[in-house]
A and B are shown apart, each in its own frame.
Chain A
Amino acid sequence: MTELVASPGARKSHRAKGGPRLRPARVVPSIVVLAVLAVLILVPAALVALASVSSDVPRPGNVTGDLTWGNFGVLAETGTRQAMTNSLVISVVATILACAIGAGLAFLAARTDIHVPKFVYLVGLMPMFLPSYVGALAWSLLGSPNSGLLNILQRDLGLDLPLNTYSIPGMIFVFAIYYAPYTFLLMHGSMSMMGPDLEEAARVHGASTRRMLFRVSFPLAMPALIGAAILTFVLIFENFPVAQVLGSPGGIDTLPTLIFRLLNATPSRGTESAAISVVLVAVVILVTWLQKRFLAKRSFTTITGKGVRQKKVALGRARLPIFLLVIGFFLVSLVLPVLALVVVSGQTSPYMTSLSELFAPGGLEFGSYADVVASDTFRSVTGNSVIVSVVAAASGTAIAFISAYIVYRSKSVGRTVIEGVSMVPLAIPAVVLGMGLLWTWLVMPVPLYGTLAVLVVAFLAVQTSQGFRGIAASILATDRDLEDSAVMLGASRIRAITAVTVPLMKAGLLSTFVLLLMLSMRELTVPLYLYTSDTKILSIAIYDAFENGGALRQAAAMSVIYVVIMFVLSYLPRVRSGR
């Protein structure tokens, strides 16, 4: 058995469809999608690119045309290089860990006889319910060297294990936890729909379960894993809140904290931060191109529609220990941080020398929840957040499906361009892309600015890459023979897609929808440039509450309620779709 298995049928039908003539069907969809992506992404990105070579910020009314390469000089500064090194080390190690955790949980939930697989699925997904800044704050509450709750507990118990989240290992740990769900979602879609044929063949030829997994199943999941790894790497690379909350107090700088300081400098060095972004975009486009070259040589089709009745891998004696490991991850990723937030939301005084103080009379009281829920502001921002997120996630999934279909299933002109453009937003740090989006929607001759719709449009732009990667992983794993058969039997292409391909990809579409929903609920930086008092959303309200510092009770209460909302939102589609 070779490392990777090609499906010759798929190739043949590709060739049968492909021809040299340019038919309208081959041009029109690409043009439409490219036009949409251009407005969503290219215009803001072009403004960022212009900023990187301008001597002054090219906001509306201030485009001077004075160009300079001087902004790139920032890359040679010692501080930038040190920050770059830290960022690289943290991102690479955290990505490896996040992918291992996410892929492991996806495999356990989708393909093994582990106890309560539905619970394992939730464990994989749930770290996503905490926005990374809330997660980082929770872990600062738990693991800061002097007053972290876990360190207070250690002192209560007379233990002295070194535990310090204000450190590079601490940051890697927090990043790995909060970015594992990306890999999980992408891999789960791919693994749960994997056709059993090739695995059966391996078994019939005498392969052990281990051999089958490592030579057949895991390699088949490669596109999803590589896609997830790229996504995770870039997202960690540009994450600001975790670096701000955990890195700065520990004296560790990363590229995003540096960009933050450039933007806050007087006068603001916005053009130089744009220059850093341009370099990031170049790196991401290069990585995407390499990935495409790697994937292009092989076929990873696993969903064939032929009796998808996977055989569960028996964990045997390891079944219980592995389940306990999953519970351990559940504890550190969700239970402990949420518990920390609950404690803080009820703590009458944030200062403690022993956990026993919590149980003293008056040590805990939870009036802050009633205040938050009763507040009219909270209800209106929650309403706004849910509307924006659901609409953005649904339309984002649709756009991603259409783009990925054109890229991977058609011979349309410009499909590589579509893929490249889709990956651009990933590489531009949100704080810089936010500026580009602000400029774009201020000058667009459509009256979206100042409405909830502009937030939807901005979220679509910011999350195009995540959506595209999610759908791409799923579409690469779905056989096109069934759709082609439907066409041969007289169905139109559109009908074949909606009646055959979409249902086959249900798991992948749902995963992507949930991913985009969570991302939209969490998004903070970009809406800060675009919201008004009427269109304030939940993430901004929580950020404002945290901004007050020192008295975190309301902020913590809001975060706990927020986790509950995220849980309900992500669970509803699954319940309704009968999974």
Chain B
Amino acid sequence: MKNVPRTYVALATIGVLALSACGSASAGNPGATAKAANAAAVATDILKMPTIDDSNGLVLDGELVADKALLEAARADKVVWYTGSGAESAKLTAARFEAETGVKVEMTRMPSGKLNERVLSEAGAGRLSAGVVTITDPTMADGMTDGKVFTTYTEMPFQKQLEGMKNVVWRDGAYYTSYYSAYAFAYNSKAVKPEDAPKKWADLLDEKWKNKLGIVNAGAGGTVQGLAAFQEDHLGKDYWAKLAALKPRIFDTTSVQLEAMARGEILAGTAGFNSTYGAEKSGAPVKLVVPDDGISGTFNMQGLTTTGSKSAAAKLFMNWTWSKAGQNFAAAQGFVAARTDIDQVPTGEYQLPKASDPSFIVYTPDEARTRGTDIVSRWNKTFNFSG
């Protein structure tokens, strides 16, 4: 019996430890600043900072992003941003935005499916906290418009330019294409000699890759579904069958596939540009290929929410996303910029095409709606994959 209080003492000890751990974390505000500076430094390493002039509103690289009133109100506010994009990219983008604008961001990232459920549920219960939502699946963006999550926002300084571009403004400005994900292929640069590396899509079908390729199944998300459509429409009706004959390893997520490629478990495979470039920058021995016979592109959508319509910071985040500075930063991370009136900034040593380039083949929201189910079910059949 004497031991029982000791158990409670143990619990109390842990509780105190926990509280002190928490205390030290929240007390460490200088640490927080250092951390933000660190992430911003990484962001700078990816792309040189633009020239910033905030003497009368916010002007980045000579382009007006926010007038004086919006900038001041935004700096007294913070953006609550929910995003379904990759963890690293979300972190870098938030840090870069803070560094360029001086406005705080609270970023919450989760996979698109969960993000969709959460945002719709929060909105349905009247408790939507996000001011801006970024989602990688156009049909979900549509659902969010129907579910009164997004609200029309047409006050960007470059609104006219955006409206003149193809595939950028949706549902009268309820949401916009923020940038495109680009999908091609990559290989392990230590295990594959440069002369043996695949250069065109057809090279991936060489017998030498049998049992050595890795792909992500077409049902795992919008980007891979778009890739499957691209392969079938532009590389030949029998591309899937020829690829399937090489017995590639089929993964459920890009991250597990990338990890296998870095270790040499698979030597080459189809790959998303942004995530693969991030892995390469962190030291993984992988090299991307920009084939001249086409790159598959899918939409990333972003909109201002009903909650965000009351937040200056959220509006400024929207403006920044489509500013030259914001678009260039996305391009530098391995996305294709949505704006076609600016040049596509290189991604490290790689030069992706502009969105308007004929070699960049996008999988439109309409196609996703009308062909998606059929593509996935036939893909599964060809690769003898259940899903």
Inter-subunit contact A550/B282 (CB<8 Å):
yes
- Complex: chain B residue closest to A389, CB-CB: B18
Inter-subunit contact A550/B25 (CB<8 Å):
no
- B43 contacts chain A at the CB level, 8 A cutoff: no
Inter-subunit contact A349/B283 (CB<8 Å):
yes
Contact among B121, B219, B266, B282 for A439, CB-based, below 8 A: B121
From residue 534 to 568 of chain A, which have CB atoms closer than 8 A to chain B? 534, 536, 544-554
Inter-subunit contact B87/A544 (CB<8 Å):
yes
- B305 contacts chain A at the CB level, 8 A cutoff: no
Q: Interface size class for chain B?
A: 35 or more
Inter-subunit contact B219/A550 (CB<8 Å):
no
Inter-subunit contact A379/B263 (CB<8 Å):
no
Cα separation A376 to B24 with both chains bound (whole Å): 10
* B260 contact set on A, CB distance < 8 A: 140, 144, 147, 249
Cα separation A569 to B129 with both chains bound (whole Å): 34
Inter-subunit contact A503/B4 (CB<8 Å):
yes
- Complex: chain B residue closest to A240, CB-CB: B252
Cα separation A387 to B23 with both chains bound (whole Å): 11
* B6 contact set on A, CB distance < 8 A: 576-578
Inter-subunit contact A438/B263 (CB<8 Å):
no
Q: Mark B1-15, 1 if CB is under 8 A from A, else 0.
A: 101101101110111
Cα separation A449 to B129 with both chains bound (whole Å): 11
Q: Mark A133-162, 1 if CB is under 8 A from B, else 0.
A: 000010011001111100000000000000
Contact among A260, A390, A528 for B15, CB-based, below 8 A: A390
Contact among A244, A351, A435, A549 for B117, CB-based, below 8 A: A435
- B168 contacts chain A at the CB level, 8 A cutoff: no
Contact among B19, B31, B258, B263 for A387, CB-based, below 8 A: B19
Cα separation A191 to B219 with both chains bound (whole Å): 48
Contact among B23, B220, B263 for A351, CB-based, below 8 A: B263
**A261-B219, A442-B122 given as contacts; is B262 within 8 A of A351 (CB)?**
yes
Contact among B109, B257, B275 for A544, CB-based, below 8 A: B109
Cα separation A223 to B325 with both chains bound (whole Å): 65
Inter-subunit contact A548/B249 (CB<8 Å):
no
* B9 contact set on A, CB distance < 8 A: 576
Q: Interface size class for chain A?
A: 35 or more
* A450 contact set on B, CB distance < 8 A: 129
Describe A's contact surface by its main secondary structure: helix
- B120 contacts chain A at the CB level, 8 A cutoff: yes
Contact among B25, B127, B285 for A449, CB-based, below 8 A: B127
From residue 15 to 42 of chain B, which have CB atoms closer than 8 A to chain A? 15, 17-19, 21-26, 28, 31-32, 34-35
**A264-B221, A350-B285 given as contacts; is B127 within 8 A of A442 (CB)?**
yes
- A362 contacts chain B at the CB level, 8 A cutoff: no
- Complex: chain B residue closest to A251, CB-CB: B250
Inter-subunit contact A529/B35 (CB<8 Å):
no
* B25 contact set on A, CB distance < 8 A: 376, 379-380, 382-383
**A442-B125, A532-B129 given as contacts; is B279 within 8 A of A573 (CB)?**
no
Chain A's nearest CB lies how many Å from the CB of B357?
A: 26
Cα separation A351 to B259 with both chains bound (whole Å): 10
- B86 contacts chain A at the CB level, 8 A cutoff: yes
* B17 contact set on A, CB distance < 8 A: 386, 572
* A264 contact set on B, CB distance < 8 A: 112-113, 219-221
- Complex: chain B residue closest to A439, CB-CB: B121
- B69 contacts chain A at the CB level, 8 A cutoff: no
Cα separation A267 to B137 with both chains bound (whole Å): 10
Chain B's nearest CB lies how many Å from the CB of A520?
A: 12
Q: Mark B84-116, 1 if CB is under 8 A from A, else 0.
A: 001110000000000000000011111111101
From residue 356 to 383 of chain A, which have CB atoms closer than 8 A to chain B? 374-377, 379-380, 382-383
- A37 contacts chain B at the CB level, 8 A cutoff: no
* A62 contact set on B, CB distance < 8 A: 120, 124, 147
* A544 contact set on B, CB distance < 8 A: 87, 109
* A173 contact set on B, CB distance < 8 A: none
Chain A's nearest CB lies how many Å from the CB of B275?
A: 6
Q: Mark A431-470, 1 if CB is under 8 A from B, else 0.
A: 0001100110011000001100000000000000000000
- B306 contacts chain A at the CB level, 8 A cutoff: no
Cα separation A544 to B125 with both chains bound (whole Å): 28
* B125 contact set on A, CB distance < 8 A: 60-61, 439, 442-443
Inter-subunit contact A270/B106 (CB<8 Å):
no
**A264-B219, A351-B262, A442-B127 given as contacts; is B14 within 8 A of A573 (CB)?**
yes
Inter-subunit contact A532/B108 (CB<8 Å):
yes
- B166 contacts chain A at the CB level, 8 A cutoff: no
Cα separation A499 to B286 with both chains bound (whole Å): 64
Cα separation A509 to B190 with both chains bound (whole Å): 53
- A502 contacts chain B at the CB level, 8 A cutoff: yes
Inter-subunit contact A438/B121 (CB<8 Å):
yes
* A258 contact set on B, CB distance < 8 A: 386-387
**A147-B264, A244-B253 given as contacts; is B11 within 8 A of A387 (CB)?**
no
**A265-B219, A377-B35 given as contacts; is B7 within 8 A of A577 (CB)?**
yes
Cα separation A391 to B16 with both chains bound (whole Å): 12
Cα separation A140 to B256 with both chains bound (whole Å): 10
- B56 contacts chain A at the CB level, 8 A cutoff: no
Inter-subunit contact B278/A379 (CB<8 Å):
no
- Complex: chain A residue closest to B276, CB-CB: A550
- B58 contacts chain A at the CB level, 8 A cutoff: no
Task: Please indicate which of the listed interface residues B110, B117, B139, B251 has the most CB atoms of chain A within 10 Å of its own CB.
Answer: B117
- 16 CB contacts below 8 A, A to B, read A61-B147, A140-B259, A144-B260, A248-B250, A263-B113, A265-B376, A266-B225, A351-B285, A382-B21, A383-B21, A391-B15, A449-B127, A510-B7, A529-B110, A551-B281, A553-B283
Other A-B pairs beyond A248-B256, A551-B279, 15, CB < 8 Å:
A62-B124, A251-B250, A251-B385, A253-B386, A263-B113, A268-B116, A268-B117, A351-B190, A374-B31, A439-B121, A503-B1, A546-B255, A549-B275, A550-B275, A553-B282
